[in-house]
């Protein structure tokens, strides 16, 4: 027997496949030429469970046992496993040796009446990993020569078991990471909210486009002033698309230093530059299977625009310091408050990139063009900030506060309105509980002397005379008088002379929230 040949061929069989069960089957067929062998298995003792777990098994007979389920051991077998010194052992399921009970319980779990076998503990650098079981029929016992041959393969078997255990741990952590990612995505979606205030009024045309483009794969360009809610619309597109289960990765292009743009978007290889001690995936790779939101895309320098254009055209990225193209499956939604077309004419934005991202442009109107949404937005922000600030009492709107807010032009748009509500809530708390929200700092054009006299036939501008606007203001006023109550003798429905369900339907149509008590302070 050429033992070097045996070691070389045995190692090749053990390490010949990434699938441990397939490798065990190849190894079993190889060992059958040198010893009586019917079954080969990897086992792992779990002291905390008092059981042995079969990790891989190859046999030439039908096995009753269902893999990867622990085999519970008797007290006698558990005591033996805990006291075992780690020496190779030979035994059977019918004798009187200390490990006979263990062999008998394994035989019963595998569906065998009796067996004889060799148990070889597997160690790497003194660390016990598990064990190798080599089983045969009782009338075909193992000899000392067989045991010596198996000992030659201790290290290959130990390495194979170690790799398998590490691979199992990687898969477990990967599943945990995927589960955590799904949870975080759902939490982010819940926190950001799935309600778009104004979708039935000022943003009606925008939402019609959102619903039309969401199922598509084409790039989308969101245009609008700062603070109009471009990120909210990007959320709506992603979570209404087939990519909703994938990641939504957001990048503020204007907040990344110019020297780090490539690193952030495309990643880098280990050793690509000083300090790059590990490989880093870029935002495109992190958005695989989902959506990449490039906010303020007009802030990208020309060099970065060239590389972004290549990604959009060829669907591949190259990490900094790397030469291997990496395919990416990402939908891009870009947004900007700048006039990209004028930037193209001035040579500040690449024309080919402009045509590439301007496939489906969506303009989000500023707040001054959708004043009818202001009451619903105010109520929405009051309730959100009330929860964030843990306010027990429901904030009260002062008489005329909504009219003041509706007449202001809001250069900062929805973001400015949100900040104004938060600031007014803080002021109200500082002045004492129950102090109404007046928004006196908002200097509406209507209260200025030059605007005191409206044009004939209008009241501070034609948009405020819209029927829905008048109805919304009147219903909100009556709700203030009833402290938010809809039905009952003192409810808003009774004062308005309509059925409560009719009033609720009208409030839904007008975008007036109910179920939350919003009040208007009594005059004086």
- Per residue in 239-289, pLDDT (tens digit) is 999 998 888 999 999 899 888 898 899 999 888 888 788 888 899 999 999
Residue 19 has pLDDT above 80, yes or no: yes
* Range 200-206 average pLDDT: 84
Mean pLDDT over the full length of the chain: 82
Write the CB contacts of 354 (distance below 8 Å, at least 6 apart in sequence).
340, 341, 344
* Range 174-183 average pLDDT: 73
Q: Which of 293, 358, 305, 300 is nearest to 330 (CA)?
A: 293
Query: Percent of the chain, pLDDT > 70?
Result: 85
CA distance 118 to 202: 79
pLDDT of residue 454: 41
The domain ranges of the chain are: 3-167, 193-365, 368-520
CA distance 306 to 413: 32
Tell me the whole-structure pTM to 2 decimals.
0.60
Residue 116 has pLDDT above 50, yes or no: yes
Distances (CA, A) of 146 to 5, 67, 91, 126, 159: 15, 27, 14, 24, 21
Q: Quick one: how many helices (H) and strands (E) in the chain?
A: 19, 17
CA distance 516 to 380: 10
Name the CATH topology of 368-520.
Helicase, Ruva Protein; domain 3 (1.10.8)
- Per residue in 354-373, pLDDT (tens digit) is 999 999 999 999 999 998 88
345 versus 43: the higher-pLDDT residue is 345
C-alpha 441, offset from chain centre = 40
408 versus 195: the higher-pLDDT residue is 408
Which band of pLDDT confidence, cut at 50, 70 and 90, is reported for residue 494? confident
pLDDT of residue 445: 59
- Per residue in 399-445, pLDDT (tens digit) is 888 888 988 999 999 999 999 999 999 988 888 766 788 898 887 65
φ, ψ dihedrals at 522, nearest 5°? -65, 140
- Per residue in 435-479, pLDDT (tens digit) is 788 898 887 654 343 443 343 333 444 444 567 677 877 887 777
Tokens 């280990």 belong to residue: 270
450 versus 137: the higher-pLDDT residue is 137
Q: Is the dihedral of CA 492, 494, 500, 502 positive or negative?
A: negative
pLDDT of residue 305: 93
Contact in structure between 58 and 86 (CB atoms under 8 Å): no
1 versus 83: the higher-pLDDT residue is 83
CA distance 189 to 349: 33
Range with the poorest average pLDDT among 47-56, 108-117, 265-274, 350-359: 108-117
- Per residue in 497-516, pLDDT (tens digit) is 788 888 888 887 777 776 54
Contact in structure between 510 and 468 (CB atoms under 8 Å): yes
Name the CATH topology of 193-365.
Rossmann fold (3.40.50)
Residue 109 has pLDDT above 90, yes or no: no
Q: Which of 3, 206, 40 is nearest to 136 (CA)?
A: 40
pLDDT of residue 431: 81
Query: Percent of the chain, pLDDT > 90?
Result: 31
Which segments within 198-317 are labelled E, that is strand?
220-223, 248-252, 267-268, 280-281, 291-295, 316-317
- Per residue in 325-362, pLDDT (tens digit) is 899 999 999 999 999 999 999 999 999 999 999 999 99
* Range 166-195 average pLDDT: 71
Q: What is the CATH number of domain 3-167?
A: 3.30.450.40
């Amino acid at each position: 027997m050429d033992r070097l040949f045996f070691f070389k061929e045995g190692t090749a069989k053990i390490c010949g496949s990434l699938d441990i069960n397939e490798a065990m089957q190849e190894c079993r067929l190889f060992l059958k030429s040198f010893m009586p062998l019917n079954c080969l298995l990897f086992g792992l003792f779990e002291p905390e469970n008092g059981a042995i777990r079969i990790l891989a098994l190859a046999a030439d007979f039908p096995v009753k046992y269902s893999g990867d389920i622990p085999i519970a051991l008797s007290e006698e077998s558990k005591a033996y496993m805990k006291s075992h010194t780690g020496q190779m052992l030979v035994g059977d399921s019918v004798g009187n040796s200390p490990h006979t009970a263990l062999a008998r319980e394994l035989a019963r779990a595998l569906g065998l009446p009796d067996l004889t076998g060799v148990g070889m503990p597997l160690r790497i650098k003194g660390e016990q990993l598990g064990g190798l079981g080599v089983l045969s029929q009782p009338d075909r016992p193992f000899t000392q020569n067989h045991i010596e041959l198996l000992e030659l393969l201790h290290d290959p078997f130990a390495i194979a078991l170690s790799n398998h255990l590490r691979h199992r741990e990687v898969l477990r952590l990967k599943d945990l990471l995927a589960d955590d990612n799904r949870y975080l995505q759902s939490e982010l979606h819940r926190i950001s909210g799935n309600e778009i205030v104004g979708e039935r009024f000022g943003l009606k045309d925008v939402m019609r486009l959102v619903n039309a483009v969401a199922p598509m794969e084409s790039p989308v360009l969101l245009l609008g002033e700062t603070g109009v809610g471009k990120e909210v619309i990007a959320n709506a597109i992603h979570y209404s698309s087939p990519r909703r289960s994938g990641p939504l990765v957001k990048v503020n292009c204007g907040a990344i230093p110019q020297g780090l743009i490539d690193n952030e978007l495309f990643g880098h290889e280990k050793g690509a530059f000083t300090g790059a001690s590990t490989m880093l995936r870029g935002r495109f790779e992190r958005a695989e299977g989902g959506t990449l939101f490039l906010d303020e895309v007009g802030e990208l320098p020309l060099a970065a625009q060239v590389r972004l254009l290549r990604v959009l055209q060829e669907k591949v990225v190259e990490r900094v310091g790397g030469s291997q193209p990496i395919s990416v499956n990402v939908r891009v939604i870009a947004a900007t408050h700048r006039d990209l077309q004028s930037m193209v004419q001035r040579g500040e934005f690449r024309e080919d990139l402009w045509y590439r991202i301007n496939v489906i442009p969506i303009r989000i109107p500023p707040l001054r063009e959708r004043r009818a949404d202001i009451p619903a937005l105010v109520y929405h922000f009051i309730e959100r900030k009330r929860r964030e600030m843990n306010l027990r009492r429901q904030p009260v709107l002062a008489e005329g506060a909504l009219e003041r807010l509706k007449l202001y032009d809001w250069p900062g748009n929805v973001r400015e309105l949100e900040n104004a509500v938060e600031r007014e809530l803080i002021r109200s708390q500082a002045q004492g509980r129950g102090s109404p929200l007046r928004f006196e700092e908002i200097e509406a054009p209507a209260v200025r002397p030059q605007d005191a006299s409206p044009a004939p036939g209008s009241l501070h501008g034609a948009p405020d005379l819209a029927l829905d606007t008048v109805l919304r203001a009147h219903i909100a006023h009556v709700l203030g008088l009833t402290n938010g109550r809809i039905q009952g003798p003192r409810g808003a429905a009774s004062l308005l002379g309509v059925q409560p369900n009719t009033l609720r339907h009208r409030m839904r149509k007008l975008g007036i929230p109910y179920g939350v008590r919003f009040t208007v302070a009594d005059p004086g």
